[in-house]
Chain A
């Protein structure tokens, strides 16, 4: 538009200088425009890098765990059991006292009550359960002294891994100078160790960051996806077959089509409201159970899977159908014996991508009460459970500093699952895709 605004002579186009200037300006605009495009792509990629980078930077320490070694004297008197205790007695013995005595024995020079309490903060409160497990597994060590590796408390864990800085003023730290000195003498003696945190993948949730794990959440997500898969796959595929192969073109099927497209764009939280009103309040299914989550996610992923399955069916050329009709197959036989097998890779790809979306979904699960704090690993789809993304949400809300790395680590695990599922989908598509 600017060229029209130029004051121009009658023979402006013959003026070489003016033409050159105008051309330069247009080329500059061209370069600028292209630069905007590159900047936009770079910004988007930069956001992605920042997102993944910050999660990895926060999360990788969670895969390492600190333990401290204690010389534990399994004295029957401290435990409050007899010389040859039964299994039942060992289950109920006083492990809190045993743990306290062992910690105090490691630092005999500390006698003041207040200091001793600070000493106890170095070991996880869950260490007593580790002692119990040890003893119940092997009752013969009663009366002996053993060196036992116990989980360190979250504060010590972060100090050793360098997540909690040492150089800030004492009153801004979770551990004071004395506690750090104790840990350092312990460390120097070889009594502090860091190793791979396998427990993180097995344990259920806990109030103590050092022993909290994603095992329970993974089991919950697994049962939920199982319910979703068992329901969506058959319903989605049969619905797609009907709409693509058999449905007469009339107003009812038109309505169903528009409906499916609209459902695919309904916010996920609305499906949560539906799940709450129908499955929990109307059918009285248990709150917080993977079955309800699975049902809700089924309704949510169904449109995605129907759309994917329809496009896979549409891609099968008519010649296949005509050939099958030609040798005398009935319409149902044509679809189930000839069209469906050829569309299977496409349908599977769509299903896996739908499942991946269901795995990452959080909002509808909040509605149906899967945000509960659950310390048991669910044993089936009717047990109370939480799901992996909900676990991330719960930990992100926790005030303890120790949970930040747990959140990031859980996110990394979730992303790993998603990448795996998408990779399988891409592999299936590449390997079995047929170009007609």
Chain B
């Protein structure tokens, strides 16, 4: 709560600084504004930044170090008997004390010692936060005073403010890098822990996937097997079915739109097709599970085939529908980018339009189309909701599209949804699968980019 007060106080100080800095600059300039090096509002911003940045840094630093510091203090208060327990027990105890202090439910009977610890924790927390509030406000006030006194006609306030703005710009463009590093590190660390339990090659080439590990040592029948091959084949099968649907439909739609259709038809149809790309994937999942899967099953049974109710075919077809606009719009770009001279040259030789398309335009647009397909495959591999809702959970190693198969993304979701302990091989396996997913999709994207860049320029 006190941190919210600090945040508000910092903002208020900055606003006051903005006003007084500007006023002081105006006073100093008197009637002749051109005496000022910078515009008055830059002086205001100068003071405001001096108020806000120091106390803002204090606030952020405290938010980061609050939890570990309080934890260490609490542990030293609880004494050596607690510190000797296993890490998990300590974590549970600390959690209970924290919950008790904030008035939430706790997992055990509350004894007086624990109540005392909770009271102690609450008082430590409020003391520390009051101290942070005091430091923050003092720093802000000091910054205000210092900057305000320096405001004078000769102060190069604009340059200083612009330097800060520049730093802010650089920092925000680094967020993307930080995100990538975050993804790689978070997935990699957990994966390394996983591979220290399950050997890497067993994971990559194992033929059996049943992630239910035994909770007790004497439990029967659930030893856990983490061979990911059935997941990879399942993912590949669904992706293949999706591409079999999306590639012909998307490519022919793009060719028709670009080469045959009248502009009016194109203007109407193209945005409608784009709607398919905007529909949330959970809607496709619903469509797959409640409309397509029963239909596939019904058709299969009427011609005497045994179809699983969560067949790969249904999920694959719906995923194909989702990818159609992706392929069609990217191929459309590639086809339109083919220079008109090629088209006209071919038509002038007496070729029909379709011959021109097949023999001249498609070869010229091929790099773009291949890149579109690779991007579409990477999309299909990473797609989650459709398969979670319409594909199965059982890891079957099968080549029959009417059977239920499971995919990498389905397993990540089932392993991580619900209550979990964070150290078991079961949850760590999800991160290993995530690492595979990240690496494969990244490789596909880079490869697609490489192809379209390398083979593109020859017609320009």
Contacts and interface: CB of A to CB of B under 8 A. Distances in A.
Interface of A: 26-27, 29-30, 32-34, 36-41, 43-45, 47-48, 50-51, 54-55, 58, 234-236, 238-239, 241-243, 246-247, 255-256, 259-263, 265-271, 273-274, 276-278, 281, 284, 299, 302-303, 306, 330-332, 356-357, 359-363, 366-367, 369, 371, 389-390, 392-393, 396-397, 404, 407-408, 411, 414-415, 418, 422
B282 A392 contact: yes
A235 B175 contact: yes
B248 A40 contact: yes
14 contacts: A40-B251, A41-B256, A44-B253, A45-B269, A47-B324, A48-B276, A55-B287, A267-B384, A269-B437, A270-B187, A270-B382, A277-B431, A330-B158, A404-B290
A262 B184 CA distance: 13
Given A44-B276, A268-B384, A269-B412, A332 B282 contact: no
B445 A262 contact: yes
Given A40-B249, A241-B169, A363 B67 contact: no
Given A44-B249, A363-B385, 7 more contacts: A37-B253, A37-B261, A265-B441, A267-B379, A302-B179, A360-B278, A390-B282
Contacts of B88: none
A265 B377 CA distance: 11
A425 to B, nearest CB: 11
Q: Summarize B's interface: helix, strand, loop or mixed.
A: helix
Contacts, number: 254
B282 A239 contact: no
Nearest to A368: B416
A334 to B, nearest CB: 11
A269 B176 contact: no
B354 interface: yes
Interface of B: 67, 158, 162, 165-166, 168-170, 172-177, 179-180, 182-183, 186-187, 189-190, 248-253, 255-257, 260-261, 269, 272-273, 275-276, 278-287, 289-291, 321, 324-325, 328, 352-355, 357-358, 375, 378-379, 381-385, 388-389, 409, 412-413, 416-417, 422, 430-431, 434, 437-438, 441-442, 445-446, 449
Contact of B417 (A48, A235, A284, A366): A366
- Most-contacted residue by chain B among A242, A281, A330, A371 (CB, 10 A): A242
A360 B252 contact: no
A243 B173 contact: yes
B186 A274 contact: yes
Contacts of A266: 183, 382, 438, 441-442
B452 to A, nearest CB: 12
B321 A29 contact: no
B434 A51 contact: no
Contacts of B175: 235, 239, 302
Given A37-B260, A262-B442, A50 B291 contact: yes
Contacts of B252: 36-37, 39-41
Given A54-B287, A411-B286, A263 B176 contact: yes
Contacts of A302: 175-176, 179
Nearest to B186: A277
A238 B437 CA distance: 31
B173 A247 contact: yes
A351 to B, nearest CB: 15
For the complex of A and B, the 7 pairs showing the least CB-CB separation, nearest first, are: A267-B382, A37-B256, A360-B280, A277-B186, A40-B252, A33-B354, A363-B384
A341 B201 CA distance: 56
A64 B358 CA distance: 54
Contacts of A418: 278-280
Contact of A27 (B176, B278, B352): B352
Contacts of A274: 179, 182-183, 186-187
B276 A256 contact: no
A330 B379 CA distance: 44
Nearest to A397: B389
